[in-house]
Every structure is written in C-alpha cells, then in structure tokens.
Amino acid sequence: MLNFFDKDSFGFIKNMNLFQFAVLNPQIAILSYLKVGEKMASQPKKIEESHQNLLNRLMELQKKFLQDICENKSNAFVDLKYSKKNDKYEDNLFENNPVLKFALQFHETTANWMLDTLSSIEDVDPKLMHSAKFFMKQYIDMMSPNNFPFLNPKFLQKTLDTQGENIRKGLAMFLEDLNKGAITTNDASKFTIGKELASTSGKVIFQNDLIELIQYSPTTDQVFLKPILFIPPWINKFYILDLNEKLSFVKWAVDHGFTVFMISWINPDKKHCDKGFSEYIFDGLEASLNKIAEVTKVTSIHTLGYCVGGTLISAFLAYMFHPNCRRRPKVKIESATLLTTLLDFERAGDMAIFMADNYLEAIGVELEKKGYLDGQIMFNTFSALKANDMIWRYFVNSYMLGEKPSAHEILFWNADTMNITKTMQRFLAQDLYRDNLLKTGMLKLDNVPLELHRIRNVPLYMISTIKDHLVPWEASFDGIKLFNTSVRFVLGGSGHVAGAINPPLRNKYCYWVNEKITNDAQEWIKNAVEFAGSWWTDWFEWIKPKMGEMVAPRHITDFLRDAPGIYVHGSAGEPQ
C-alpha cells in the first residue's frame, strides 16, 4: 500500500492543467456571492431573522434526534458484533446508524436554510440571484455527507468487506482522472467510433476546412424524393444522432425511406480561431445544401437541427427571407425540425451562467492563448449542470467504493469533447445568451438583419423535452412567438439527450401534444394530451406528406471516404 504513494506516482501533477480539472472556476461563484452579500449587508433585519431561523431549525432537529434516541426509533443501539458466519459485519450495520442519519438531516436542514435565506434577500438582480443560487446548490451538493468517507455508510461497509481494497482502487482511479483532467463516467474501452458507435453505412461526399458531409446508404427498395439534412450542434460530435443500431436516429430514418445527409463538424484548433457564426452558416450549412442539390438534383430539402444546429437553421432561414439576402443555396429548405433548440435566450436556464461576462473574463486568458475553448472545459461545465448525476455519483462510486464505471453509449459520446473556436464562443456568449440578438432581430449575417418573423410557408416541427437542463422546454416554447409560419410543438419525456434519442422500439418515454399554440408554456401543457411511446413516430407522420413521391434509391458512387469520416476522430485532414 505504501508503494502506491511513491514520488513517481505524483510526478505528473506539477505539469497538469488544474484549470481543466476544476469543475467550476471559483472566481465566478465568489463574484456572485460578493454582490449578493452587499445587498444582504444593507438589510440587517434580514440577517437577524436568518440567524434566528437557523437556531430554531437546529433546535428542532436536536429535539427530534434526542427523541429518536430515547425511543429507539433509529435502531440507536447497533449491534457491533462481527458475524463469523458471514465473515463480515451485518449489511445494514451502518445504514441504521443514528449518527449517520443525523448527519444527513443536519445537511438537509442547513441546506434548506441557506437557500431560504438567499431567496429572502430583496432588490437583487434576477440574473445575479440565479447565479448565486446555482453556486449555492453546487456547494450544498458537494457538502453532502455521502461525499465524505466516514459519513457514507456504503463506504464504511465496503471498506470492512474488502479490508480497504476499495480505497486502493479508488485512489488509483482518482490519480488517473486527475491526470486527464476529468472524472471518468464511462468504460470507454468498450466502444470504437465507426464500429460500436456511428456505424450506419455511408460515405463522406464533401469536405472543406470546417465540415465533412456524410450521405448514408439506402436500405429500402424505394426512398422519398426529397432528402433530409441533419445539422448537429458543433459543441458535440454528430454521432449522438447515430449511436448503436438500436439507438440511431439516422438508421431509423434510413430504414423508413429517408435519404439522410449529416454534417460532421471539425474539432477546431488554433488555426480555426476566427471561424464564427457566418462561417458555420456559409461554409457549413450552405455548402452542404449546395452539395446535396448537386448530387440529388432536387429543388427542395428538409432539415433537422439539434440544439444550436436548430438555431443555425432558423437564422439561415431568416437570412434567406430578407429582401437584402445576397446568397441563396441551390436548393430550397422546405421544412425545419428544431430539436431542443433555443431561439429566445431570455430564460436560458443554468447554462446562461456559463455564458455571462464574468465567465468569459475568467476563461479569457485561456481562450486567447489557445484560440479556442477546450472541449474538456465544456464537458466539466455540462457535468456541473447535473452535479449529483455527473460528478458526485462517480466521485463516490469510483474514488470511495473503488468501482469502475460501466459502459454506456451516451456517456461515451458525452465525454468525447469538441472544442469551440474563440470567435464562436464569444458569439454564443455575447450575441445570443447575453444580448439575445436573434430574438430582437438585431443579429446580422452578411450585414443582413435576421428577423425570424419574415419566414413564410416553411412549416416547423419543434420538439423539446420536459427535463431538459440545457434548453428548458419553456424557453424553447418561447421561440414559437418569433415565427410567422406554422409550428407544431411537441414535448418529449426525459432530458436533453435521452428524450431526444428515444427510438419507438424502446417505448421508454411518452410525449405531449397540444394542437393549439398558446401564449404561455404552462397553459399549453395544461391542455396537452399525453401519448405513450416515442415522438419519432409523431414526427414521421408530420413530415411524411411533405417528402414527395417514392423513387429509386440513390446509390453513392462519388465519395471521398467511408463514414463516419475523419473529422469525428479530431483529425483535420486535407480539405478537398
């Protein structure tokens, strides 16, 4: 055991990037607390009430604890005898320990008091209060007794059962994660991109220095006349839409007669630092549409954008409908499916905290030095948004219990990070999240204002998910009001990823539909009808009449390489 702590084991620490391993930059949290603290200091009566309130809660907790001890409600007198028959202590020895139970109750009591006190402070800017509450909850989650070895009954039991082997394994995993700068949430050895993941048959038919364009091979005797282009977010790899055969939206669409094209964004490095909004539209979306027109000879196409991919489509449509538009693709966009997409960023949720000016200031030096925001930082940010599920769960299981994570496709994809160019990161943070320019029509592309209300006769299918922590469904619903075209809004079950990747055969999550679009999201869901199964089937029924006649499948004869291509692996290659 002592050999595990030799100096060579720790030699790498002095060279590692601690900035990346940190889940949250403390500078942002401290600034939030200081500003809220100033407000509270000017309200002395609130401070007095808060102290008295805490005292009352703790006295009530102490009273309850003593009653439980006296009445033996908590199995207070635990039998500490070792069971020779089972060669271990009893399974519930620590689960029923009154001291450990009291620690949990104390944490819950003080946590509720902290949040209540914060909420009671008056005259605080709502965005500042949102930020302060978020970081307060992060602190509360971190300080849970379960995250401390000698207050966690599972750790105590496992240590006795394994004679401390879990501690040795946990420390080994901790050092590995410290070296790579992130908590391991998945057994990556079980997956290879192009085999277990992103394995739907297809070819890369076009490449420039920003994208590869994939065309998937047909699997049906006939296909719909009009193809469909999938635009994934550029902050993640595209294969979330093409996981394994059972979870692949791409494979499902191809098997239902769609000719599917997919954009695969490059994982940018320093030479891409100036690639921003206009390049992603013109070199990404427009270039793809023109290539599709060339190979299919069609005059119209359907599009599906996931997350900010949907924002990109919406912005490009607004550009094309403006009378001053100077660039038009060779093919018309006939419909757009916006999958968990934000257009009005007023209620953007917790993600807005990481797009604020103080966050940009905190990462500014790193951004300028590299020319891009490291994908590992985004991974840590996304993890912080669901800290209990994505951080502390693995902290306990891996580092304390010594249990390696199991294999999971979505978690593998989640950890397969993408960088964001310096220019694009500032566009997202300032133009969209901070200033909400797309909503106001003040965002410009090629010096043309993007006004979503100008879009006409392009039907939209908007799908949000009820537990989405990145794109709150109510905020996504707000985007409907910006359009002047027909919109079908559907609300799926689960969250940002699991709710979107919900194949019909799994029959896992339901969805809600209300044919009447209301002014308020809560009013909409109040009268919505719940349907069992996947929203994919509802989408198919909506888009099928718009797809045109059935024709012979388009076999791919002219291509650069097999799908999934090289950009998905992070290699830039040579532009063709």
- Tell me the catalytic residues: 307
Complete DSSP assignment for 365-427 = HHHHHHSEE-HHHHHHHHHHHTHIIIIIHHIIIIIIT-------HHHHHHHSB--EEHHHHHI
Q: How far apart are CA 178 and CA 22, in angstroms?
A: 10
**Max intra-chain CA distance, the chain:** 85
Q: How far apart are CA 187 and CA 170, in angstroms?
A: 15
Q: For helices 98-120 and 126-142, what crossing angle results, to 10°? A: 170
Q: How far apart are CA 370 and CA 338, in angstroms?
A: 32
Q: For helices 357-370 and 26-41, what crossing angle results, to 10°? A: 160
3-class SS of residue 31: helix
Which two tokens mark 219?
């699997």
Q: Are strands 561-562 and 202-207 parallel, antiparallel or unpaired?
A: antiparallel
Q: How far apart are CA 113 and CA 454, in angstroms?
A: 49
Residue with tokens 């200091």: 41
Q: How far apart are CA 558 and CA 22, in angstroms?
A: 46
Contact 499, 509 (CB under 8 A): yes
Query: 306: closest CA among 284, 277, 337?
Result: 337
Contact 499, 249 (CB under 8 A): no
Q: How far apart are CA 467 and CA 489, in angstroms?
A: 16
Q: How far apart are CA 209 and CA 268, in angstroms?
A: 9
Query: 43: closest CA among 154, 108, 119?
Result: 119
- Peptide bond before 459: cis, by omega within 30 degrees of 0? no
3-class SS of residue 129: helix
Which two tokens mark 439?
């909503």
Distances (CA, A) of 94 to 72, 89, 160: 16, 9, 11
Residue 281 φ/ψ, nearest 5 degrees: -75, -55
Which two tokens mark 575?
């532009």
